[in-house]
Structure 1
Amino acid sequence: MTEPALDRLDRAILRQLQTDGRTTCDMLGVQIGLSASAVLRRIKKLEDSGVIDRYVALLKPEALGLGLMAYVNVRLQKQASHAKRSPMDEFCASVHTWPEVVECVALTGEMDFLLRLVIQDMNEYSRFMMNTLLRHPAVQDCKTSFVMDRVKTTTALPIDV
């Protein structure tokens, strides 16, 4: 897959949309020196090429009563004689059904996956671990770290000028 060529104006549009996805084409045009229709064409091209993946609302976890965030390192069994799928495939399919897991990445090194959990409290963490994650047949070991303070949280990617 080839990387789309982005010029200075495309990058300016992307930076602003990452800051405020509801910015109008008129406002963007004024900021970067293009007409609203030219901005709209560029945005459409960025969407069609897959540079812009989707638009979302970012929610504040604490405002929804989700006051605990944890990172869980997971090591899987290497073989699973009981399953038709590999332990990795079985685990990945399950992760998609767990709403507490807001991010899951495969890792190199000692552990296989890192899960980011956003949950209500320690009771919910315990329930998830004991009733869901540790009961999964592919899971061999887990190690959890709890977030004490979010020093930096952003969804914005670094875009060069």
Structure 2
Amino acid sequence: MPDEQLALGGDAGERPPPRPLDDIDRAILRMLRADGRASIRSVAGRVHVSRANAYARINRLIDDGVIKGFGARVDQERAGQGASAYITLKIVQNSWRTVREKLRALPGAAHIALVSGDFDVLLLVHTKDNRALRELVLTRIQAMDEVLSTRTLLVFEETDLLEA
């Protein structure tokens, strides 16, 4: 197997590519995104497969890295994070990995993406209030040597698309 992977240009330590998803796999993923605590019994019933089949499919999705984990969807405002913003960053060329690690360490950083277009990085943050947001942008993010400029987009209202 390692020889086959190397012949295809892969590294011997890489995982094989995930298997293709079918309609049942996609239905299971939709259900688990909406309720990560759903029981095997309820998953099986909703997608019309046996419990053993549902269990095996979920384990395969985990093993293949399709499901990376399970977590809670948090209402940021009720959790004391009253201000949310998307911050766009222009960064020094080839500094993505360094910037990503610095942004991960920021309090309230929720999502970081390397993107194309007029800016390089899109960062979603949640903070206690606008004062904490201003402090985060002005003293933490703009102080990073690799950050050339930022633009802050305040979030006025959010809707979780997974909520019924």
Do 2:18 and 2:64's aligned partners in 1 also have CA atoms closer than 8 Å? no
Say yes or no: does 1:148 pair with 2:156: yes
Tell me the distance in 2 between the aligned counterparts of 1:89 and 1:15. Answer: 31
CA offset at residue 42 of structure 1? 1.2
Instruction: Say which of 107, 111, 115 aligns to 1:103.
Output: 111
Q: Give how far 1:146 is off.
A: 0.5
Q: Report how many aligned residue pairs link the two structures.
A: 148
Q: Which secondary structure state, in structure 1, belongs to the residue aligned with residue 151 of structure 2?
A: strand
The amino acid of 1:24's aligned partner reads S
Q: CA deviation at 1:131?
A: 1.8
SS at match of 2:30: helix
Indicate the residue corresponding to 1:82 in structure 2: none
Taking the aligned partners of 2:140 and 2:125, their CA distance within structure 1 comes to 13
* Distance in 1 separating the partners of 2:75 and 2:109: 16
Corresponding residue for residue 32 of structure 2: 17
Gaps of 5+ in 1: 79-85, 157-161
**Cα distance per residue 1:104-124 (max 9 Å; x no partner):** 111212211111111111110
Higher relative contact order (CA 8 A, sep 6+): 1
Q: CA deviation at 1:155?
A: 6.0
SS of the equivalent of 1:118 reads strand
* Aligned-pair identity (%): 24
Aligned residue identity for 1:116: L
RMSD over aligned Cα atoms: 2.0
* 2:146 is the counterpart of 1:138: yes
TM-score using structure 1 length: 0.82
Task: List runs of 5+ in structure 2 lacking aligned partners.
Answer: 1-15
Following the alignment from structure 1 to structure 2, what is the Cα–Cα distance between the partners of residues 71 and 44? 34
- AA in 2 matched with 1:48: D
| Contact 2:34-2:162 at 8 Å conserved across structures | no
TM-score (norm 2): 0.80
* Cα distance in structure 2, aligned partners of 1:45 and 1:77: 40
CA distance in 2, matches of 1:101, 1:155: 21
The amino acid of 1:53's aligned partner reads K
